[in-house]
Amino acid sequence: MITEEKLKILTEGAKYDVSCSSSGSSRKNKGGMGNGYVAGCCHSFTPDGRCISLLKILMSNHCIYSCRYCPNRADPDIPRAVATPEEICELVIDFYKRNYIEGLFLSSAVYRSPDYTMELLLRTVKMLRTQYNFHGYIHLKGIPRADMGMVRQAALYVDRMSYNIELPSERSLKLLAPQKDKESLLSPMRALTQEKAEYAQERKSSLFLPAGQTTQMIVGASPESDGQILRLTQSLYRNMGLKRVYYSSYVPVVHDSVLPDKPVGQLREHRLYQADWLLRFYGFTADEIAPEGENLPMDLDPKCAWALRNPQFFPVEINRAPLEALLRVPGIGAKSAYKITEARRFAALGFEDLGRMRVVLKRARHFITCKGKYYGAKNESAVRGLLAAPAERAEQLSLFSDRETALAALTGDL
């Protein structure tokens, strides 16, 4: 049985990893315990509004590497611990039976060597599935430079794997995480993507990483702009087939002279998530969202900012515009756009009909016409004034300052 002290150290060490969340995996119970749910794990909201939880823990916080931003790096004199595979398995089953968790997010510092650590992780997930008959959701962190044979085997037992890119450029990796390089992170991701495609070709995709791969980037620990981060994100979605890229705004948890001494505001992270939704669900490209060397504006969400930079595109007529054009209108989310295209087949839509389709009219009205009539402000500067948060307040603004914005944050509607 794992001691309380060890549990505290290993769960505390895992808390900075945000690359878990909604899984998309569906694993059926075959007479054992637990189910992997379609909509995910780790304090994530399912489509029916349920929040489900998972045990987020490290195998060890005893690292041989020295990433300068990391509290678990080799040098500091902090309490260290290593769990055994048996301890993790017993804990998962115990917590599952008590209804504390529905899945596991298992990560680790690089303990002794990449291969040694990967072997511990592999033994744990294999044991959970084969000896403890646990069918709940498992998200496993991959260990860079570990033997790919073990990584591939692990992928057969878990729902999702992730390698954290952490820093968006090779230069920053060299400076802040000198034992890692881009290739040691990207090549296992690439190999897993290829193998998953082979399983899919044989119609066996449920056997190999059914919930795919994710990654995480730290925002603001290094000088890369949002434009650079979004280009890397776009290439990860297009070339690696990643399910999600997570962004974690930098928080100084260790003192180091090359790192910023102040946290990066959460608003920057929030804007990146909004831009990420535009890439995944709204047909935007990184080039359209932010120039390579620039950050996203803080006072406008990235869709409004794009709309104001492209006035020639607007207004779009709600009753005629193709779906792709509707998706570009600020305030019209992906679901609303589909609803509009369905509803207008039967009757022309008026302005008052849009509110019922969850269109955020206070934004959309400036970019649309309904039956040829325009309901927005008279000129661009008036529109900007109505949409933008005052620059000096933008950093302090509550991210979810009204009901519509809070709802949009949950649904990803922009």
Where do contacts with ligand SF4 occur on this chain (CB under 6 A)?
Answer: 63, 65-67, 70, 72-73, 109-110, 177
Which residues does residue 139 pair with via DSSP β-bridges, in sequence order? Answer: 105, 160
CB of 60 to ligand SF4, least distance (A): 9
Is 70 or 89 the residue whose CB approaches ligand SF4 more closely?
Answer: 70
CB of 114 to ligand SF4, least distance (A): 9
DSSP one-letter code for 119: H
CB of 172 to ligand SF4, least distance (A): 13
CB of 184 to ligand SF4, least distance (A): 11
Is 146 or 332 the residue whose CB approaches ligand SF4 more closely?
Answer: 146
Is 143 or 304 the residue whose CB approaches ligand SF4 more closely?
Answer: 143
Q: Which structure tokens are listed for 40?
A: 């995910």
3-state secondary structure of 143: coil
3-state secondary structure of 51: strand
Phi, psi at residue 280, to the nearest 5°? -85, -35
CB of 15 to ligand SF4, least distance (A): 13
Residues 6+ apart with CB under 8 A from 406: 400
CB of 224 to ligand SF4, least distance (A): 18
* CA–CA separation, 291 and 305 (whole Å): 12
Is 177 or 279 the residue whose CB approaches ligand SF4 more closely?
Answer: 177
Is 66 or 205 the residue whose CB approaches ligand SF4 more closely?
Answer: 66
Q: How far is CA 370 from CA 194, 317, 352, 353, in A?
A: 47, 6, 9, 10
Is 118 or 298 the residue whose CB approaches ligand SF4 more closely?
Answer: 118
Residues 6+ apart with CB under 8 A from 407: 413
Strands of 137-141's sheet in order across: 55-58, 103-107, 137-141, 160-162, 213-219, 244-249
Peptide bond before residue 263 is cis, with ω within 30 degrees of 0: no
Is 78 or 397 the residue whose CB approaches ligand SF4 more closely?
Answer: 78
3-state secondary structure of 351: helix
CB of 16 to ligand SF4, least distance (A): 9
